Amino acid sequence: MSEDSGKRQDSQRGISRRNFLGTMGAGTLGVAVSGRAAPAQGAVAVASDGTQPVTLRINGRRVDLRVEPRWTLLDVLRDHLELVGTKLGCARGECGACTVLVDGQAQYACMTLALEAEGHEITTVEGLMHGEELGAVQQAFVEEDAFQCGYCTPGQVVAAEGLLRGNPNPDLAEIQEGMSGNLCRCGAYDHIFKAVRRAAQLKQLGTG
C-alpha cells in the first residue's frame, strides 16, 4: 500500500480519536476531583445513555440521529441507516472495503468517527446510482467483469469514483496508484484497472 493511499486513514476533520479520548479523560478526572461537572463553553450535552446528537449529510440527504462517541461512520451506515453497500472488512484501515467519499475524497469509513463526519458530504456506493440506473463506474465494472466474489467491489467502485473526480483521464500508472488502497483477495486487479479506464470513457461521454 502506498503512502498516498494511507491519507484516507488520516482524519481531515477537527477531532481525532486520540484527541477525543484525551479530552474525555480530562473531563472525567475533573468530575472525580470536584464531585460535579462544570459545563465547558461550547460543550455538547451527552444523554444518560452516552449518546449525543449529530447531523450527517449522506447521499444528498440530511440525517439527524444520536450516536455514541466511539461509533465509526461505518457503524452508523451499516447498523443504523441500513446502507449496507459499505462493507466491513479488516476494520483497521487496510483493505478498503468500507471506502466512502467524504467531500468527494475516498476515505475509510472504519477509521472515521461518525462525529468527525458532521458538516461534510458523505457519499456511499448507493449514492452513485441515478435512480434505478447504475452510475458510470458501476456500469464499467459490470462491462469489464471487474469482480469475482464481489465483497470488495463497493469499496473499489467508490475509490474509482473518487479517483476520477480528481483526475478524469488517468493513465494506467495513475489508476494503479489511485486504487492501491483497495485490496481484492480474488486478484481481479487487471479487470478492475480496465473498469476504471472504461468508467473514465463513460464519464467523458456524459453517461455518469
Which CATH number does the domain housing residue 74 bear?
A: 3.10.20.30
Domain assignment present for residue 13? The answer is yes
Q: What is the pLDDT of residue 35?
A: 40
The number of beta carbons lying within 10 Å of the beta carbon of residue 34 is 9
Domain range enclosing 193: 136-204
User: Same domain, yes or no, for 103 and 9?
Assistant: yes
Q: Greater confidence, 153 or 45?
A: 153
| Reported confidence tier of residue 117, pLDDT bands at 50, 70, 90 | very high
Do 85 and 145 have their domain in common? no
Are 140 and 122 members of one domain? Answer: no
- The per-residue pLDDT of the chain, averaged, comes to 85
Q: Report the distance separating Cα 68 and Cα 127, nearest Å.
A: 25
As a residue count, the chain comes to 208
- Give the H/E segment covering residue 66: strand 61-67
Over residues 19-28, the mean pLDDT reads: 44
62 inside domain: yes
147 band by pLDDT with thresholds 50, 70 and 90:
very high
Half-sphere exposure of residue 4, counting CA atoms within 13 Å on the CB side?
9
**Could you tell me the pLDDT band of residue 48, with boundaries at 50, 70 and 90?**
low
Give the pairing of strands 99-102 and 105-108: antiparallel
Predicted TM-score (pTM) of the model is 0.77
Higher per-residue pLDDT: 165 or 27? 165
Q: Of 79, 111, 128, which marks where a domain is finished?
A: 128
What is the pLDDT, as a whole number, of residue 113? 97
How would residue 42 be classed by pLDDT, with cut points 50, 70 and 90?
A: low
Is residue 55's pLDDT more than 60? yes
Whether residues 149 and 77 fall in one domain: no
Across 22-38, average pLDDT: 40
Mean pLDDT computed over 76-87: 97
**How many domains in the chain?**
2
Residue 143 corresponds to which amino acid? E
Band (pLDDT 50/70/90 cuts) for residue 160 is very high
Question: Which of 128, 159, 184 is the endpoint of a domain?
Answer: 128
- Let me know if residue 44 belongs to a domain: no
Answer yes or no: do 148 and 122 share one domain.
Answer: no
Q: How far apart are CA 159 and CA 189, in angstroms?
A: 13
Is a pLDDT exceeding 70 seen at residue 95?
A: yes
